[in-house]
Amino acid sequence: MFMDSSRLVELAAVACDDRKARNIKLLKVDEVSSIADWILITEGLSDVQVRAIVNNVEKTLREKADLYPLRKEGINEAKWALLDYGDLIINVFQSHERRYYDLESFWSHGIIHDFINNKLIVKIDE
């Protein structure tokens, strides 16, 4: 089953939100980078929550899109976990690491969206 990257990032964001992920940002980077179409950045409060978020994203994308990550990093330590789905890259941080790496600033030339109310995606005006 094929899903476009916009639908995949929304599914991933809902999966994050279902595990109480905080401050979910969706960065549309297809116009400024060939690395991916979307980068999702979010955070959990602990290593247990980071792993729960990552596991739920994997489960959701596997069940609803028959999609498996091409690469996974950092899940055991769970300070910064990454799931690479090709067109979609998911970063789940603990808050200290998120502030330190500040990927939102690094990718600020893309279009940054907030994810609110488990469905609504709102563009952040600059």
Every domain of the chain and the residues it spans: 5-113
Per-residue pLDDT tens over the stretch 54-67: 999 999 999 999 99
Q: Compute the residue count for the chain.
A: 126
* Predicted local confidence at residue 2, as pLDDT: 64
Is 56 within 8 Å of 6 (Cβ atoms)?
no
User: pTM of the full predicted structure?
Assistant: 0.90
Second-level CATH architecture of 5-113: 2-Layer Sandwich (3.30)
